[in-house]
Amino acid sequence: MVNEYILSLDTGTSGIKVSLFDRRGVEHYNNYLEYDTFYPAENMVEQSPYDWWGSFCKITKNIFSETNVQPSDIVCVAPSGQMAAVIPIDEEGSLIIDPCMIWADLRADKEVDEVFDRIGGFEEFYRITGVAYNPATYSAFKIKWLKKNKPKIFYKAYKFLLSSKEFISYKLTHRIATDYSDASHTGFLDCSTKHWSKEILSAVELDINRLPNIRYASEVLGSVTREAAKETGLFESTPVCVGGGDVAIAAAGATSHKRKSCFIVLGSGFGVSIYLDKPVFNFQARLSNTRAVDGNGFVIEQGDFGGGITYRWIRDIINIPELGISPPSFQDIDKLAEKVGVGANGLLFNSNLRIGGTLYQDSNLRGMFIGLSLNHTYADMCRAVLEGVALNIRLSIEHLVKNGIEIEEIYIVGGGSNSGLWRQIIADVIHRPICLLNVNQNVNTWGAAMCAGIAIGWYEDYESYQMLNKVKEITKPSRKYSLFYDKLYEVFLTSNYAMLPSFNKLAGCRKLLDKIS
C-alpha cells in the first residue's frame, strides 16, 4: 500500500502546528512549537518570520527522523496561518525588517484616521472591504505607518507579504501569492469585485505591483525548491498549494461550508462564524465578511480577541518561580471552576483583556471583575472567566441571528473546546446544543489539507470533504440554569459600557503618566 500524506501547517499567534493527513482525512502526525512574540512599546506586537520558518523546518525534519514517513510520501504542502501582517522583502526575497508587525499590532491608529479622511470614513471602508475588526489590525494601515515612520524600509521593499503563510510559501517555492481569504484581511480587497481596491491603494499611496497577486487557496502555487528541501527535509519538487488565512481555513475545516451551520472557534480569541453565499452588511453590529477559501462565498463573523487567552491569563496568575510556585494546568482550572458551580458565587467577569475584536470598538475598554468581595476565591475567579467568555459568545450569536441569519447547528473547535466544562457553560449560556467535531483542535491544519486535497485532485470540492467530518460529542444545555443566565446576561450587557467613562479617564491617566515619565 502506497503511503500518501498532505503536510499541512498553521502559523498561529502563539506557535506553529504541523499535521499529516491521509486521503481518508485521518491524522497521522501532529506537532506544535511555540515562538516568541515581542512587545517593543504600547500597541506594538511583532514576531520574526524567521522564527516561523525555523520552527516549521524543525518539525518537518522531526517527522522524517521520528516516524516511518518518507519525504516522497508527502504529496502536497498546505500552508495556513494568522492574517494581516506586514512582511517587506527585497528583490532577493530577504527580509528588510525583522521582527515584523503582526495582526495584533495596533500602532497605526493615526494612519487609520488619515486613510479614512481620504476615502470617507470607517463606514465607507466597511462598504468596500466588508471587514469590521479594529482597522489598525489590517495590513493597509500598517503599511501606511511604515511609509510615514520608516520611509527607508517602505521604499526599499520590493513586495509586501501580507500574512504568515505567504512567507512560509515563499521560502518553500520562491513564489509570491495570496488568496482571497487572506486578501480580505489586508484592508485592500474590494469584497464585491475581488480585486485590490484602487481607492484604498490611492489613500495609502501604494503601487498595486508591490502587493501579491491573488489566487485561489486550492491552486498549486509552486513546488519545493532545492534550497528549501535541504532546510526542511522535504522532497524537492513537492507541490505547495496557495492555502488560506486562519479565519476562512477554520470555516472550511469546521463545517466544509455547510449551510446554516454556525461554528465557534475558541482559540486565543474566539470567533462565531457562518458560511454564506453573499455578504451581510451591518456596520452598527460590525458584522465582518471575509472571503471564503473557495473565493466565492463569505465567512460572516463576530469575534473578540479575549477567548482562550483569558483562560491562560487566569491560569498563569499563579506563577511565582522565585517561590517554586508554577501555574496549574488547564485541567486543574476546570476542576476548581466546576466545584464552584454556576454563577461563580455572584462574581461576573468581562473578558475585554485584549482589544481589537468586532464586538467592542472602543480601544479604552478593559476587562473587569464585578462583585468582588473578601469571600471570593481564586476558584470563583476561574469560573467567572469561563462564564464571561461564554456571555460574549452569546452576544456574537445574537448579532448573527438579529441580522436574519438562520442557524440550525452549532459546532465548536479550537483549543478551548477541549474543556468539557467550558463547552457545558457555553451551551447553558446560549441555550443551544454544541457539537464537538473530530477535527477539534486541528481544525486549521485540516482546513488547509482540504485546499491541498482539491489542488492535487484528491477531491472535487470542499463539500466532498464533509463526509470526513464527524461529530465526536454533543453537549446539551441544562434548562434549569436558563433563567439565571438570562438575568446574568442582562447585567453583563449593561456593565460593558457602564464603565466606559471611567475607562476613558484611566486612559487619560496613563497618557499623563507617560508624559511625566
DSSP letter string, 253-294: HHHTT-TTEEEEEESSSEEEEEEESS----TTTT-EEEEPTT
- Report residue 261 as a C-alpha cell: 451551520
Question: Which CATH code, of 3.30.70.580, 3.50.30.40, 3.30.420.40, 3.40.50.1400, is assigned to 308-394+488-516?
Answer: 3.30.420.40
Per-residue cell: 373: 468581595
Each domain of the chain, given as residue ranges in start order, spans 5-242, 254-305+405-479, 308-394+488-516
- CA–CA dist 142, 515 (Å, integer): 25
Going by C-beta distance under 8 Å and a sequence separation of 6 or more, which residues neighbour residue 395? Answer: 302, 359, 493
Query: Cβ distance 358 to 133 under 8 Å?
Result: yes
Q: Does domain 5-242 have CATH number 3.40.462.10?
A: no
Q: How far apart are CA 142 and CA 146, in angstroms?
A: 6
Chain centroid to CA 251: how far?
11
What does each of the 517 residues of the chain score in pLDDT, given as a tens digit? 578 999 999 999 889 999 999 998 889 999 999 999 999 998 899 999 999 999 999 999 999 999 999 999 999 999 999 999 999 999 999 999 999 999 999 999 999 999 999 999 999 999 999 999 889 999 999 999 999 999 999 999 999 999 999 999 999 999 999 999 999 999 999 999 999 999 999 999 999 999 999 999 999 999 999 999 999 999 999 999 999 999 899 888 887 567 788 989 888 788 899 999 999 999 988 899 999 999 999 999 988 878 888 888 899 888 777 778 888 889 999 999 999 999 999 999 988 887 767 777 677 778 899 999 999 999 999 999 999 999 999 999 999 999 999 999 999 988 889 999 999 999 999 999 999 988 777 889 999 999 999 999 998 888 776 666 778 899 999 989 989 999 999 999 988 778 888 888 888 888 788 778 6
List the one residue out of 239, 251, 276, 259 whose CA is nearest residue 454.
239
pLDDT the model gives residue 184: 96
The confidence score (pLDDT) of residue 256 equals 59
Q: Are strands 244-245 and 74-81 parallel, antiparallel or unpaired?
A: parallel
CATH homologous superfamily of domain 254-305+405-479? ATPase, nucleotide binding domain (3.30.420.40)
Q: Are 405 and 300 in contact (CB under 8 A)?
A: yes
Alpha-carbon distance of 31 to 58, in angstroms, equals 10
Q: Comparing 5-242 with 308-394+488-516, is the CATH topology the same? A: yes
Number of other residues whose CB lies within 10 A of the CB of residue 326: 11
pLDDT of residue 78: 98
Q: Which residues pair with 159 in a beta bridge?
A: 89
pLDDT given for residue 257 in this prediction? 62
Enumerate the H helices of 150-220 as residue ranges.
151-156, 164-173, 180-184, 198-204
Q: How far apart are CA 218 and CA 97, in angstroms?
A: 30
